[in-house]
Amino acid sequence: QKEVEQNSGPLSVPEGAIASLNCTYSDRVSQSFFWYRQYSGKSPELIMSIYSNGDKEDGRFTAQLNKASQYVSLLIRDSQPSDSATYLCAVNDPYGGSQGNLIFGKGTKLSVKP
Amino acid sequence: GAVVSQHPSRVICKSGTSVKIECRSLDFQATTMFWYRQFPKQSLMLMATSNEGSKATYEQGVEKDKFLINHASLTLSTLTVTSAHPEDSSFYICSAHPRTALGTDTQYFGPGTRLTVL
């Protein structure tokens, strides 16, 4: 059973704090990892992709990947109320029939309080 | 870049009618397009995967005769919900994998279509 696990939350942080979102995945063969942001009533929007162990930074966002632990995380620095959304972790399905097949977690709801 | 559009954004129809939803990649060619459904406060559910010029691959439990998918070109896929019923009311979202993204698995999502069946 291929699984991507996320804490459903809600995760509540004060404005300006660091929000830390975590994700674990079951298939060791997976090679591509993504974080999507989904506002209520909207479709997911790609924030970050990461393929190698370590950290990848893009503005206020840092994705961290540890393949040995099958763990990927997203840090949001200087959190803003506009960051309040559901964050979806996605991992490639190495056995999917087509390029681009992803397995999505159920998402973590983040609430940034002013 | 990597813009995906969907049309219509919202549709209300009577039970028993069919509804067609279009998904277009506007500035790239898509080798593969994906169709998802999302019920309120629930996670994305993959319905089917379609490759241009071939039959769609449906996920377990998704009726292929009810949800017809046509992927006629590298920039257009359509989902037709046939004989829609109230339980088909949901948020339908497509995504596309760019042809230039071979070797990665990036998907770009359309804005979604909210279907309400009365």
- Contact predicate A106/A8, CB 8 Å: yes
* Cβ of residue A99 closer than 8 Å to a chain B Cβ: yes
- Sorting pLDDT into bands at 50, 70 and 90, what band is B54? confident
Mean pLDDT of B1-16: 94
3-state DSSP assignment of residue A27? coil
Percentage of residues in chain B having pLDDT higher than 90:
71
Q: Tell me, what's the pLDDT at A68?
A: 94
Q: Tell me, what's the pLDDT at B41?
A: 84
* Cβ of residue B35 closer than 8 Å to a chain A Cβ: no
- Sorting pLDDT into bands at 50, 70 and 90, what band is B103? low
The answer to whether the CB atoms of B109 and A101 lie below 8 A apart is: no
* Cβ of residue B31 closer than 8 Å to a chain A Cβ: yes
DSSP 8-state code for residue A30: -
- Sorting pLDDT into bands at 50, 70 and 90, what band is B100? confident
Rg of chain A, C-alpha, whole Å: 14
Give yes or no for residue B43 having a pLDDT over 90: no
Nearest CA in chain A to B41: A40
Q: Tell me, what's the pLDDT at A93?
A: 83
Mean pLDDT of B37-61: 89
Average pLDDT, chain B: 92
Q: Tell me, what's the pLDDT at A9?
A: 86
Q: Tell me, what's the pLDDT at A97?
A: 64
* Cβ of residue A105 closer than 8 Å to a chain B Cβ: yes
Mean pLDDT of B80-98: 95
Q: How far apart are CA A67 and CA A53, in angstroms?
A: 6
Mean pLDDT of B9-31: 95
Q: Which residues of chain A have pLDDT under 50?
A: none
Mean pLDDT of B88-116: 88
Give yes or no for residue B52 having a pLDDT over 90: no
3-state DSSP assignment of residue A83? helix
Q: Select from B49, B110, B112 the Cβ nearest to the Cβ of A98.
A: B49
SS (H, E, C) B46-103: EEEEEECCCCCEECCCCCCCCEEEEEEECCEEEEEECCCCHHHCEEEEEEEEEHHHCC
